Amino acid sequence: MSQYRWLLTMILLAIAISGTTPTHAIVGQASAQVQLNEPAAEPEPAIDPAAPVTDDDAIAVRLRGIFQEIKGLENVVVAVDAGVVSLSGSIADNASADRAKAIAQRVSGVVTVETKFERDVSVGSNVEPVVDKFGASLQNFLSALPLIGIAFLVAITVGLLGHFFASRMGFWERVTPNIFLAELIAGFVRVIFILLGIFIGLDILNATALLGAVLGGAGVIGLAVGFALRDTVDNYMSSIMLSIRQPFRANDHVLIGAQQGRVVRLTSRATILMTLDGNHLRIPNATVFKAEILNYSRNPQRRFSFELGVDANDDPAAAIETGLKAINGQEFVLNEPEATAEIREVGDSNILITFHGWIDQRNSDFNKARGAAIRVTKNALEESGFALPEPIYRLRFDDGAEQLVETFSKTEPSDTVIEKPEKAVAKKAFDVSPEDHVEKLVASERSDDGLSDLLDDQQPVE
């Protein structure tokens, strides 16, 4: 029986050992996983279990001495018990309370700090620091006045030096293509010297960081202004390009987009035209720079064209020969290049012929010459027996056509003869001399030297 008891005891012991061992292993693995996954916390300072009372007194004395030397913390009440510091009393603001707590935590032997401050709302404790701070700032400013004066004088001197260089317009006009660019470069030089003077002055005051902040803010503001004034900037850049590569001269007859006239002047913002009606036309330079420009004055020779029609039964070749003979017989038409003509269109009842001729605009007005050529060509064709086309109408009567024919057949012929009026013939040739009234107006406008003009005969023309 004792043998069975011994065997039962051994089995129970084995079961107990096998049951506890896995449990401890699982707990150990779990603890290891927690330590691997979670960051290790910083160990807190050890608390001495047997801190003597003399240490509390030393901590309290030390903190009271520190607070007495710091303005705004003189009224802090310190109590220490077993390393626990209690701070109380009236204090001006939260910043002072946080400062007192931070100082107490740094003293050796302090376990923790508790604060029980009361807000001091008295006028003296709140206003006096502000007054003292303002007085100290004023004192520092008065002390720095001589240095500020030197920095200001240096900045003014550098700025005046830049103004002197920028004012030498004769030099800038010699090194730049036109007066507009000269003024632009002079203004740029003036701004550079002003910024340089400000930088030197701030460097003397040891305040260059302020300049960086100002320039950064100016850059942001400049970007916003640039987007807001992009049309103005576009017009300004177009003015620069037009002043460098001028597409026309003063008094040139031009067609800019849909606007036609003679050029009065080119300013830094717009191109001024004198229309053929004698009116001033102001076109922004951005529009001029992007538009198609037709210059009628660049080539003195100019071709005019017009169309005339003859009857479909006439010979178009003979009509062309007759018309060209009449055109070439005019003194204002150039022999080289010679006049030409071609059949433009053959219609139901007529043939359209286009005639071309060349004139010298220095001796003949374009519109007058074209009108005179049309007149002599028309008269020549009619005198040669060519019938100019007339409208033809066909009438159709669905009812009563026979009665209408009988009525006309019974009508007795009238003895009255209707005579056609004689054609009026011009007694003298057309005057095709150039029209110079608009040119005189332009010359009168340009004679005023007080107005700026970027047009220069010495610059290349595109």
- Is 248-298+436-462 in CATH node 2.30.30.60? yes
248 with 263: CB under 8 angstroms? yes
Cis peptide before 337 (omega within 30 of 0): yes
Cα 264 to Cα 63: distance, rounded to the nearest angstrom: 89
Q: How far is CA 157 from CA 168, 215, 307, in A?
A: 17, 21, 75
351 near 358, Cβ under 8 Å? no
CA torsion 393-395-396-397 (nearest 10°) is 170
Which residue is it, tokens 């309370």? 97
pLDDT value of residue 415: 54
CA distance 254 to 262: 6
Q: Per the structure block, which two tokens stand in for 62?
A: 């030390």
Q: How far apart are CA 345 and CA 90, in angstroms?
A: 109
Three-state secondary structure readout of the chain? CHHHHHHHHHHHHHHHHHHHHHHHHHHHHHHHHHHHHCCCCCCCCCCCCCCCHHHHHHHHHHHHHHHHCCCCCCCCEEEEECCEEEEEEEECCHHHHHHHHHHHHCCCCCCEEEEEEEECCCHHHHHHHHHHHHHHHHHHHHHCHHHHHHHHHHHHHHHHHHHHHHCCHHHHHHHCCCHHHHHHHHHHHHHHHHHHHHHHHHHHCCCHHHHHHHHHHHHHHHHHHHHHCHHHHHHHHHHHHHHHCECCCCCCEEEECCEEEEEEEECCCEEEEECCCCCEEEEEHHHHHHCCEEECCCCCEEEEEEEEEEECCCCHHHHHHHHHHHHHCCCCCCCCCCCEEEEEEECCCEEEEEEEEEEECCCCCHHHHHHHHHHHHHHHHHHCCCCCCCCCCCCCCCCCHHHHHHHHHHCCCCCCCCCCCCCCCCCCCCCCCCCCHHHHHHHHHHCCCCCCCCCCCCCCEC
pLDDT of 422: 56
Q: Is the dihedral of CA 361, 366, 370, 373 positive or negative?
A: negative
The verdict on domain 53-120 having CATH code 3.30.1340.30 is: yes
How far is Cα 32 from Cα 138, in angstroms, rounded to an integer? 64
Query: 311 and 348 in contact (C-beta within 8 Å)?
Result: no
What pLDDT does 403 receive? 62
One pLDDT digit (tens) per residue for the chain, 462 residues: 444 455 555 555 555 444 444 433 333 443 333 343 444 445 555 545 555 555 888 888 888 888 888 877 888 888 888 888 888 888 877 888 888 888 888 888 888 888 888 776 666 666 777 777 778 888 887 887 888 889 889 889 998 998 888 888 888 777 776 677 777 788 888 888 988 888 888 888 877 667 677 667 667 777 776 666 777 878 888 888 888 888 898 899 999 999 999 999 998 889 999 999 989 999 999 999 999 999 998 899 999 999 999 988 889 999 999 999 999 999 999 999 999 999 999 877 889 999 999 999 999 999 999 999 999 999 999 999 998 877 666 677 666 556 655 665 555 555 555 454 555 555 566 778 888 888 888 888 888 765 678 887 767 676
HSE (side-chain half, CA atoms, 13 Å) at 436: 9
Q: Which of 380, 377, 332, 384 is nearest to 355 (CA)?
A: 377
Tracing tokens 């062309």 back to the chain, one arrives at 320
pLDDT of residue 28: 41
Strands 84-91 and 112-119: parallel
Q: What is the pLDDT, as a whole number, of residue 274?
A: 93
Query: With contact defined as beta carbons under 8 Å apart, do 301 and 361 qualify?
Result: yes
Q: What is the CATH number of domain 301-390?
A: 3.30.70.100
Among candidates 3, 455, 25, 10, which has minimal Cα distance to 250?
455
The answer to whether the predicted template modeling score (pTM) of the entire model surpasses 0.75 is: no
AA letter at 285: N
With beta carbons less than 8 A apart as the criterion, state whether 104 and 110 touch.
Answer: yes
